[in-house]
Amino acid sequence: MTFHPFLLLLLLAVTVNSKKHAGLVGDCGSTGTRIFFYQVDVEQGGEKLTDLAVRKVSTLTPGASTQWRSGTLEDVLAADLVEAVEPIIKEVKDDGSIATWHGLSLLGTGGIRRMNATSREDLWARLKRELTAKLPRVSIEVGDIPEIPSRHCSCQNRLLRKRSRWSRWSAWTLARGT
């Protein structure tokens, strides 16, 4: 077998410039919370997505806004979220190819965005406090889904074309490492 130094250099260059990011993202809507596991391969400091894999983990019902109103947010939703994401967290810890783990992000859509600001802030604070206590080693972010700067979701990026605003935000955020 002939040694090809050029192939070795090419492989090293690809390995150095490519990074796999992963994270759990929960779409907290009015009818339920849908949890997805994203894996994104990025190059050039997050400017170029080279691969995007999305796997639905679970759908938890009823929605976070309904559970907040009924008083079961901490008891039921937080416990169900932990039960749903713990196997993925273990999978990530065992996977040596993931360079950056972004933890769990819960984003308000639908019913949560329609809540008044004080109620939304209370819901997010209570849910984050409970999840942080149950998953102390996992980064947890909560809040309404933000706008994506238009320059980052242009149709030039074939991996984000034809994806929902929520999915584009999730992939873009993981790729940017924020």
Ordered domains of the chain (ranges, CATH): 19-176 (3.30.420)
Percent of the chain at pLDDT > 90 equals 22
For residue 118, is pLDDT > 90?
yes
Rounded to an integer, the average pLDDT of 16-38 is: 81
Q: What predicted TM-score, i.e. pTM, was given to this entire model?
A: 0.72
β-pairing, 140-144 vs 33-43, is unpaired
Q: Looking at residues 92-120, what average pLDDT do you find? A: 85
Please give the structure tokens belonging to residue 140. 């947890």
Q: What is the pLDDT of residue 153?
A: 45
* Contact status, residue 31 vs residue 63, Cβ threshold 8 Å: yes
Element (H, E) at 15: helix 5-17
Q: In the prediction, which pLDDT does 166 show? A: 53
> How many angstroms separate the CA atoms of 132 and 148, rounded?
26
153 or 63: which leads in pLDDT:
63
Q: Is the pLDDT of residue 148 over 60?
A: no
Average pLDDT over residues 138-161: 62
Reduced DSSP (H G I as helix, E B as strand, rest coil) percent helix, strand, coil of the chain, to 5: 45, 25, 30
Amino acid symbol at 17: N
140 forms beta bridges with 104
Phi, psi of 92 (to 5 degrees): -65, -40
> Which DSSP string do the residues of 83-135 spell out, in sequence order?
HHHHHHHHHHHH-TT-SEEEEEEEEE-TTTTTS-HHHHHHHHHHHHHHHHHHS
